[in-house]
Amino acid sequence: MPATITIEQEDEGLAVIIIDQTLLPNQTKLLRLRAVAEVCEAIRSLRIRGAPAIGCAAAAGVALCASRAEARTQTAFMGQLEDSIAQLAATRPTAVNLFWALERMRKAIARHGQSSRAQLVSALTLEARKVIADDLARCHAIGRYGRQLIEPSSAVLTHCNAGALATAGYGTALGVIRAAHEAGRIRQVWVDETRPLLQGARLTAWELQQEDIPCVVITDSMAASVMADRQVDAVIVGADRIAANGDVANKIGTYGLAILARYHRIPFYVAAPVNTIDYQLTAGSEIPIEQRGPAEITHLAEHATHPIVPIGVAIHNPAFDVTPHSLVSAIITDRGIAQPPYVETLAAYQELD
As annotated, the active-site residues are 240
Which of residues 91, 125, 204, 250 is near ligand MRU by CB under 6 A? 250
**Position 49 contacts ligand MRU (CB under 6 A):** yes
Question: One symbol per residue from 27 to 46: x for binding ligand MRU (CB under 6 A), - otherwise; what is it?
Answer: -------------------x
**Position 251 contacts ligand MRU (CB under 6 A):** yes
Task: Classify residue 318 by its DSSP letter.
Answer: B
Query: What is residue 340's three-state secondary structure?
Result: coil
Which of residues 177, 257, 319, 331 is near ligand MRU by CB under 6 A? 319
Q: How far is the CB of 128 from ligand MRU (least distance, A)?
A: 19
161 in Cβ contact with 50 (< 8 Å): yes
**Position 236 contacts ligand MRU (CB under 6 A):** no
**Position 239 contacts ligand MRU (CB under 6 A):** yes
Q: How many residues bind ligand MRU (CB under 6 A)?
A: 18
Nearest Cα neighbor of 338 from 265, 257, 251, 243 is 243
**Position 52 contacts ligand MRU (CB under 6 A):** yes
Q: How far is the CB of 131 from ligand MRU (least distance, A)?
A: 15
Looking at the DSSP bridge assignments, the partners of residue 330 are: 269
Nearest Cα neighbor of 136 from 26, 52, 70 is 52
**Position 51 contacts ligand MRU (CB under 6 A):** yes
Distance between CA atoms of 244 and 251, rounded to whole angstroms?
A: 19
Q: How far is the CB of 239 from ligand MRU (least distance, A)?
A: 6
**Position 240 contacts ligand MRU (CB under 6 A):** yes
Radius of gyration, alpha carbons of the chain: 20
**Position 238 contacts ligand MRU (CB under 6 A):** yes
**Position 7 contacts ligand MRU (CB under 6 A):** no
Nearer to ligand MRU, 127 or 334 (CB): 334
Sequence-separated (6 or more) residues with CB below 8 Å from residue 140: 170, 175
Query: What is residue 321's three-state secondary structure?
Result: strand
Number of H helices, E strands in the chain: 12, 14
Would you say how long the chain is, in residues?
Answer: 353
**Position 160 contacts ligand MRU (CB under 6 A):** yes
> Helices 36-44 and 74-89 sit at what angle, rounded to 10 degrees?
10
* Contact positions vs ligand MRU (CB under 6 A): 46, 49-52, 95, 160, 162, 166-167, 172, 199, 238-240, 250-251, 319
